[in-house]
Amino acid sequence: MAADPTAWSLVEVADAIVRKEVSCLEVTQACLARAETHQPTLNCFISLEADEARRQAMDADAALARGDVRGPLHGVPLAHKDLLYRAGKVVTCGSRILGDFVADRTATVLERLSAAGAVNLGALNMAEIALGASGRNEHFGHCRNPWNPDHVTGGSSSGSAAAVAGRIAYGAIGTDTGGSIRLPATMCGLVGIKPTQTRTSRHGVMPLSYSLDNVGPLTRTVADCARMLGVIAGVDPNDPTCSSEPVPDYEKSLDGAGARGVRIGVPTSYYYDHTTEAVRSALEASLQVFKSLGAEIVEVEIPDHDLIRELFGTLMRAEAANIHAKWFAERPGDYSTEVRARIEAGLYMPATRYLESMRLRPGLMDEFCEMVFGKADVFHAPGLAIAVPTLEETDAAVSDDALLINERLAWCTRAANYLGLPSLAVPCGFADRGLPVGFQLMGRPFAEEFLFQVGHAYQRETDWHQRAPAL
Amino acid sequence: MAKQGEGFSGADVKKMAAEWHGIELSDARAAGLAGELNGLNAATRSAARRLPYDTDPAAFTSALTRLKHKGRT
């Protein structure tokens, strides 16, 4: 392994800490040094909590000296999107609206990371109120892509992706309502999972859309992602929507059967409508890797995704507008024009339409599972169809194409949220302008363990996940 | 006001904004929102025609369990 511990993966550093090859404080200091060096360029933190992180690392070292390994993340520096509550701390949600909001409780997900021994580096930048596929933020400044700071990170979990890709944190928590984990993961060359709806607790997480929000990790490798999801997933008495389905040991089966014999479904419509040649080529190459591993590639038809996009839009706008209605009326100037414009229609949506969009959901999930998983075991699609845009290209004030680009960013990701299905983003190369490209693997509900196996098999054969940006 | 079957007009949205939420909209913004709403309304309404009358939105959660992954095939 490299001498610099920030070059190691989460699993590698966690194992090295337990073997006492490196101390928690050494690792944390290395991460903090990178954070301080690169924050001016990447702007990934809203609140970097260096002193608190050092204190946690020293506690972790003291515990280890007593023979007390707290859990599978003992001493590992992580960070989280600034919409997860910590009792007594300000949680901005990347917004001016919540700029002075002090949480009265701690998110279950953060409590579980802490119980597993993680060190918290601080709260990360994000798109305002978690709405925005580019990750732009007018209030806290835009986050920048570590592979090229002229480009967006993707959003809304922009800081989560920048911190992990920038080798500042080993993993970060994000949320995904329409692609907000998978898009920044894809654009920054990372792994990220939107779990099955109800798989992870949303207690203590600022909502955007109750029916579509999911909490999940962004990491450098599939194995890292499996470890983090294994820690945070599972029933939570504080979140009545959280599933009681047992959580498998995701890591245990990673090196099992791999991709041999797995039927990989490739869509015959919609997902490739706007792909660039370079993205398409990288996606096809990833399928060739799966074929070489013994997988079978099968074409699958899918339900009407234009309809799913409209139903997603109805549902998300109605729920998000309802959450923000009071502030829209009282403090309209505290929202960026772009954010208001995206959800304001929800204020005037008839209740019948909202309910119809909810009632159509189970039937479309049935239809998708029958059409896709009747023929395939996993569904393979682009994580992002277009080239990773620059910050300027996504700025509606200067770019005529900004609205179209912003719409196309989440073209491939929203359906998984509406359908409630798990989706794992995996990097598969570099495409237009040298920026990362990735695919997503979708499965039946609660197929996370299987998705990790297939994604991990791909990463054993490729090295895209081992490449780091030259910051 | 828009006639029945024509969807929302900008004036409809402007009135709803003021009366329901205390929000003042410009004519142009209200017209834009009306167009957006009419598109979403039409797509959702049309798709909903296929729904049996007794489809419960809560069926989504049970479908997650019913359709869950059951291991490699």
> What are the pLDDT digits (tens) for A164-203?
999 999 999 999 999 999 999 999 999 999 999 999 999 9
Min Cα–Cα distance to chain B from A314, Å: 6
Give the neighbor-by-neighbor strand order of the sheet with A423-430. Answer: A45-48, A119-124, A77-81, A171-175, A215-219, A191-194, A423-430, A436-442, A378-382, A263-267, A296-300
Tell me whether residue A420 is in a domain: yes
Torsion of CA A429, A434, A435, A440, to 10 degrees: -20
Confirm whether A77 is domain-assigned. Answer: yes
Question: Residue A317: phi, psi to the nearest 5?
Answer: -65, -45
> Among A188, A199, A256, A274, which residue's Cα sits nearest to residue A230?
A199
Work out the average pLDDT over A425-439.
95
Q: Which of A9, A23, A81, A158 is catalytic?
A: A81
Mean pLDDT of chain A: 97
Q: Do B71 and A450 touch (CB under 8 A)?
A: yes
The CA R_g of chain B, rounded to the nearest whole Å, is: 19
Q: Give me the domain span that covers residue A47.
A: 5-307+338-466
Strands A119-124 and A77-81: parallel
Proportion of chain A above pLDDT 90, given as a percent:
96
Query: Is A366 inside a domain boundary?
Result: yes
**B16, A332: Cβ pair inside 8 Å?**
no
Residue boundaries of the structural domains of chain B: 10-66
* pLDDT tens per residue across span A146-161: 999 999 999 999 999 9
- Find which of B19, B64, B70, B73 to mutate to test the A interface (most A CBs within 10 Å of its CB): B64
Does the pLDDT of residue B5 top 70, yes or no?
A: no
**Interface residue of B8, B44, B51 to substitute, partner A, most A CBs within 10 Å:** B44
* Residue A315 forms part of a structural domain: no
Question: Token digits for B16?
Answer: 């709803």
Tens digit of each residue's pLDDT (9 = 90 or more) over B48-62: 998 999 999 999 999
Q: Could you tell me what percent of chain B has a pLDDT over 90? A: 84
The H-or-E segment that residue A45 falls in is strand A45-48
pLDDT value at residue A256 = 81
* Domains of chain A: total: 1
Q: What is the CATH number for A18?
A: 3.90.1300.10
Residues of B in contact with A361 (CB under 8 A): 57, 60, 63
A365-383 pLDDT tens trace: 999 999 999 999 999 999 9
| Residue A211 annotated in active site | no
Is a pLDDT exceeding 80 seen at residue B72? Answer: no
- Strand duo A45-48 + A119-124: pairing: antiparallel
What's A161-184 look like in SS3? HHHHHCCCCCEEEEECCCCCCHHH
Q: Which of A325, A366, A449 comes nearest B21 by C-beta?
A: A325
CA dihedral A126, A452, A366, A200 (to 10 degrees): -50
Is A156 among the residues known to form the active site? yes
A259 and B72 Cβ atoms separated by less than 8 Å: no
In a domain, A318, yes or no: no
Of A353, A361, A450, the CB nearest to B40: A353
Confidence of residue A79 (pLDDT cuts 50, 70, 90): very high
Q: Would A256 be classed as within a structural domain?
A: yes
Measured at the alpha carbon of residue A285, what is the angle toward residues A383 and A381, in degrees to the nearest 5? 25
Mean pLDDT of A26-34: 98
How many CB atoms are located within 10 Å of the residue A319 CB?
24
Q: Using a CB cutoff of 8 Å and minimum separation of 24, what contacts does A39-43 make?
A: A41/A144, A41/A149, A41/A471, A42/A143, A42/A144, A42/A146, A42/A149, A42/A162, A42/A163, A42/A166, A42/A168, A42/A471, A43/A125, A43/A140, A43/A141, A43/A142, A43/A143, A43/A144, A43/A159, A43/A162
Instruction: Please name the residues in contact with B35: beta carbons below 8 A apart, sequence gap of 6 or more.
Output: none
- Concerning whether A357 is annotated as a catalytic residue, the answer is no
Asked if B22's CB is within 8 angstroms of A243's CB, the reply is no
Residue A218 binned pLDDT confidence (cut-offs 50, 70, 90): very high
Nearest residue of B to residue A374, measured between CA atoms:
B73
B53 shares contact with chain A (CB less than 8 Å): no
| A29 has a pLDDT exceeding 90 | yes
Give the pLDDT of residue A433: 87
Q: Which residues of chain B lie closer than 8 angstroms to A245, CB-CB?
A: 65, 68
Distance between A84 CA and the closest CA of chain B, angstroms: 24
